[in-house]
Chains A and B, each alone.
Chain A
């Protein structure tokens, strides 16, 4: 009789039911084959957890297994249900009971075809010890090891024989589980015990055998299929070398390894065929080998089931192994023949698991919020996930199997990379980004790896797991819209969701004529000598524009974003300025803290959209751009990065302690294209006169000359001297004096004057300086001028030209165009982040508080309730400046202000206004009266002036910031500030630069720390940012990772968000346009969470945003009893319910105690007022049992009774009868009484 054919089986199975006793990916995959070819009914088992899983949708029927998640292991249960259903065949899939020899046995007994090996064959090949035995007899090399299960002494003997390292493996195990490696004989006993216990628990078989641990091996396996007629087909090898903890992650066919020769392939296939024939095996099986680098194979085990990676073989050959397996199981002859079935493709599979590789591959269960599966040519996907699926934690973490196939290996890799990029699984972490790292690894691509590849390359786990930028930006927009304000700009809740908006920002940008654009800048580049010569010889006044920095940085919020810089920059670039100040100072820090921008990337862009004009930035002497004094190596690193993007570096020190500037000066001056501009901090007061500042200038030239190795005169030609008046304290006539003196002494030195508007005399002062010979002035665009910054460029130029007859060559048309654009931007910044106080303050000349601080100090005083004390504080400033002499620039201005604040509020707390007035009197007296003439009372009284100061002032007095410009203050100041410790303070003060004692930063250690926090290597800029401002750098880096580059958002959206119904168009960083429409923002629920729904390009998304604090505890309102209803039993008083005696269904009699409520050692028994049956018990307690009581309120419904129902008298029935007019028990038929 001819052998049964595939067609015969097809006919036989038509309309029959085949059950897949599995779940998820394998179940779905097998159901597909059943439906595709056989016209049979595909049934799938499903526990309650899996009933609605995505994979279950592929089955036509579900055999429900109930609530126990492990029911897939209940062979008998499944077979019983299968029999009931009339199933003809059962496929066990992989995992669960697929290699349990009882399964085929019981199926056979039940008359159901088991689609897999017979029990005997499964036992012979599936049991690892048996398999080894058979292999040995057939002359197939096996991994050296024990003959069978061993005990500890035998293992020890084997170690002596084979040598270490060895592996302890479970006899009944498989799939890489239950393997313990031993490298040291000391570990043996412990590991043996662990292995045995684990084996018993996992596989029900505690026996352990020993194998040699082979090194640098590859895992190569051969898929075979055999029928009952003795036909065997062996497929090309699968290379499963990429593993982690013996779990396969990537499988490839054919192996890309050079050592996979045709000979080796044939050899392995031959072994596989012979093994399968020897035991009379018919079904699918996989024979697994380890292959050493020299090409020697060793058998490890045989898997007697369908495997996870079978798909790549199917893709390689263009076949369906499952249908063949089914056919063979029902007795068909194998259709595959070596002659006719040839492989055509290369294929690889990655296992998309719901795990977080960056967190040690922790399984991730949870809701999948977004799902976009890849497609296109060469992609095969077997998955069990979908959007909205709550990935369960009861089973393994396999989410999907992604396969790519093509004619050649390179193409297959390309397809896989592309598919991984297209594959989006949102809401849980998956291994997708991890695989992208592997696919790109050069060793992997050429097949030069072994089973230790993953373990040996931990940097594979350093990656950024990002959603596409548009998606991330849309989340930011949604968040800002729901809250009504942007929490990241550090302005607090500057507006609410309902506050009126300024509306869309659609600036009108005048065209810049190309002739203007093409006009080069007259300022020489790349050579500072040439640049400075040009300025010296020009006979003109030159200008630096501070609009992008000083003018808009005084308040955290009003610092322009890079997005606005991009608008203004091109216009400024065509004005003909000497420089544009676009960096440094607080601007640097605020970039990261509030604007979520990398400041150096911003600077690089400036050089791209405003290439013609020199760029200038401001640094502090000791801190440079950071927040503490910097050691040399860090200063060098930061300094080099500065010089890569800026051309003029202005450096100041609030004590004019020039030595502090030396390190940064060295860095800048070593770059021939950069100009160093040391700046003198100016104050106008006794002692700070022209000769004093001339002396400071000498110091400067001494330092710079020593760096250059030239004379002071030569040095004066190579730097620009900055004159920095932070508060506008120096009157015009003083500037005339100073500048004249400097020009006379050093005729070749270029002078750059920087002044604030605060006192209102900006223009006259600039005029005086320019007339006296200052070369460069800091100015700003008129529309951005506020009193805390610089003055208006056009007005200044007009004054210089028309009143003073000086020559300026700025392009006024270009300035007007820049102003026009700026005017459109300013309203947003003015509306949301204006400083508190914006008027001029001529008193700045007295109290010396710089422009920016005037406003914030007033705001602080007001908010803390001390506005009435503000005039006193300013008066204090006036006085203390004469006692402790330094300049009110950062950080000096902060120190002075804090001292004043603390002194005045301290006095006020002690003795009210009287005490404050007295304090100021004393201070005034002390400053006016010479030391000798002071009375003893005064000497005593003055000690209270600094009693409330903080550590910053004390550190200043100790010289920790540097040398005070006029030396240390009088001793009494120390007594006042340090109290009894003052003598020691004086003894320990220093005049050395604080930089001298700093130890170099350990850059390597910092890099490691940063990498471990970011889980990837920081780039050069990120590292420098991190070294300067660790907390804010991490903030901006993490913001970028979470949301993308916020400069892509229009200005109004950044500040205001959208109203529901509004839309916005924006570009991603790669230039792709995106569209977002806000659909709705729900009202906040009890937890304070609003749900935003919006359309992002063509998808609808939703986001939960915490907009308010949770309200209340979310408790349900208490049910109150109806006092007129005797069936509603209430608590007699407010107190604690501590025992409930009844439960629903109990019959109670009138007078019976139902529960007891205690209040203050008074226990009230609550009795039933009527006979009844307990219907509901709303609260329960049993203090004796669980030591817990439940609060109840007076009148609260605790127990609800119902009328006593009739009961059936039949003792064996006894049921309650709910119906009223019946005469017989509906349950047992007994007549009712």
Chain B
């Protein structure tokens, strides 16, 4: 399984490079369970057969792109809901250092301007956090060379999505004495289409070597984590520069609800702030699009 180990690339943090895996998240979890993946240890795979995004959506993972799994501590800046956004900001900053002008579409989609206009940026990368059995793992996918196929639209199905072992594909029936649950209406695809994919290679600057990039990412994450206590909210200022559509009118779709207002920032906990006339409200869920 382990193809090579490059302790230098990540500083004191091990980086394991693998060939084709099911998903870096699965590999990382295995290693973590076996005690072989310390905090800020990472797994880099050439490609994934079952790369996944949110809710088990497919993340196409051809060779040449970056598929990285990092184990993070579950406290500090990665505690609670802030983790998603923080990681996104860190990644955008790292890519910025390599010359790529990448923004973060809340919560942590890495986007660049696309030919489709300011309302529909291109997605160059994404992050999925998994908290399993005590290990917090960040799965990071960045389209270095290839613009991978887009994730299915919010209500599209992924035909070959994985079924976790031991689980049933059918929804379990409720016992008669359980209260019936009013399920929210399914989100509609038409007003929240998936972002078109983009790759770093199609932009101007030179695409860094994968391992170099991984090293920078892990270092930056560790840095952010360690320096946190000194200036706890400074990152918010940095975040504002990187937040896509900041100050513009956006629509947040959460189930059947739609909230329309001005995107005024994020909170310390990573919640989105939308100003719909009056005081800004916080949101921790939903899909964002430009008005």
Binding site for B on A (CB under 8 A): 1115-1116, 1132-1133, 1135-1136, 1138-1144, 1146, 1148, 1151-1153, 1158-1165, 1167, 1176-1191
Contacts and interface: CB of A to CB of B under 8 A. Distances in A.
Contact of B127 (A1151, A1161, A1182, A1191): A1161
B131 interface: yes
A1187 B185 CA distance: 9
B172 A1187 contact: no
A1185 B171 contact: yes
B107 interface: yes
Contacts of A1132: 131
A1183 B284 contact: no
Interface stretch (B34-42, B94-102, B155-163): B155-163
A1117 to B, nearest CB: 9
Given A1142-B167, A1162-B81, A1190 B181 contact: yes
Contacts of A1187: 154-155, 186-187
B166 A1161 contact: no
Contacts of A1115: 179, 182
A313 B171 CA distance: 60
A1102 to B, nearest CB: 28
Interface in B180-216: 181-187
Given A1144-B172, A1176-B175, A1158 B166 contact: no
A1160 B181 contact: no
Nearest to B88: A1161
Nearest to A1185: B171
B84 A1186 contact: no
A1162 B170 CA distance: 23
Contacts of A1146: 168
Contacts of B183: 1181, 1186, 1188, 1190
B173 A1188 contact: no
Nearest to B82: A1160
Contacts of A1153: 132, 164, 166-167
A1184 B81 contact: no
B169 to A, nearest CB: 8
Contact of A1176 (B157, B161, B178): B178
A1141 B171 CA distance: 8
A1161 B132 contact: no
B130 interface: yes
Contacts of A1164: 130-132
Nearest to A1163: B130
Given A1138-B55, A1165-B130, A1184-B161, A1177 B175 contact: yes
B56 interface: yes
Contact of A1160 (B161, B169, B178, B285): B285
B51 interface: no
A1160 B270 contact: yes
A1144 B132 contact: no
B68 to A, nearest CB: 16
Listed residue (A1133, A1141, A1161, A1163) with the most chain B CB atoms within 10 angstroms of its CB:
A1161
A1141 B81 contact: no
A1189 B284 contact: no
A1182 to B, nearest CB: 4
Interface in B26-54: 54
A682 B145 CA distance: 90
Nearest to B286: A1160
15 contacts: A1139-B56, A1139-B167, A1142-B167, A1142-B168, A1143-B168, A1159-B81, A1160-B85, A1161-B107, A1165-B131, A1167-B132, A1178-B179, A1184-B157, A1185-B169, A1187-B155, A1189-B255
A1151 B168 contact: no
A1162 B172 contact: no
B273 interface: no
Contacts of B161: 1184
Listed residue (A1133, A1151, A1187, A1191) with the most chain B CB atoms within 10 angstroms of its CB:
A1187
B133 interface: yes
Given A1116-B179, A1159-B81, A1180 B55 contact: no
Contacts of B264: none
B171 A1182 contact: yes
Interface string B45-89: 000000000111000000000000000000000001101110000
Contacts of A1167: 132-133
A1183 B56 CA distance: 9
Nearest to A1164: B131
B90 interface: no
B115 interface: no
B131 A1162 contact: yes
B124 interface: no
B285 A1163 contact: no
B91 interface: no
Nearest to B184: A1188
B128 interface: yes
A1161 B171 contact: no
B157 A1188 contact: no
Listed residue (A1115, A1138, A1159) with the most chain B CB atoms within 10 angstroms of its CB:
A1159
A1181 B182 CA distance: 11
B177 to A, nearest CB: 8
Interface in B250-291: 255, 270-271, 284-285
A1131 to B, nearest CB: 12
Contacts of B133: 1151, 1165, 1167
Contacts of B128: 1161, 1163
Contact of B107 (A1160, A1176, A1181): A1160
Given A1133-B80, A1160-B81, A1160-B285, 15 more contacts: A1140-B172, A1141-B164, A1141-B168, A1151-B133, A1159-B284, A1162-B84, A1162-B130, A1163-B54, A1164-B131, A1165-B132, A1167-B132, A1177-B174, A1180-B172, A1188-B183, A1188-B185
B108 interface: yes
Contacts of A1158: 54-55
A1161 to B, nearest CB: 5
A1116 B180 CA distance: 9
A1177 B178 contact: yes
Contacts of A1183: 55-56
A1144 B178 CA distance: 12
Contact of A1161 (B129, B157, B168, B175): B129
B131 A1160 contact: no
B84 A1161 contact: yes
A1135 B131 CA distance: 14
A1153 B271 CA distance: 27
A1158 B168 CA distance: 19
A913 to B, nearest CB: 28
Contacts of B173: 1143-1144
Nearest to B53: A1161
B166 A1152 contact: yes
A1146 to B, nearest CB: 8
Nearest to B133: A1167
A1140 B163 CA distance: 11
A295 to B, nearest CB: 66
B83 A1180 contact: no
Nearest to B52: A1163
A1180 B171 contact: yes
Nearest to B171: A1182
Contacts of B157: 1184
A1182 B173 CA distance: 12
A1148 B56 CA distance: 22
Contacts of A1161: 54, 84, 107-108, 127-129
B253 to A, nearest CB: 13
B129 A1186 contact: no
A1177 B285 contact: no
A365 B59 CA distance: 53
A1138 B130 CA distance: 14
B184 A1189 contact: yes
B174 A1188 contact: no
Nearest to A1181: B171
A876 B161 CA distance: 75
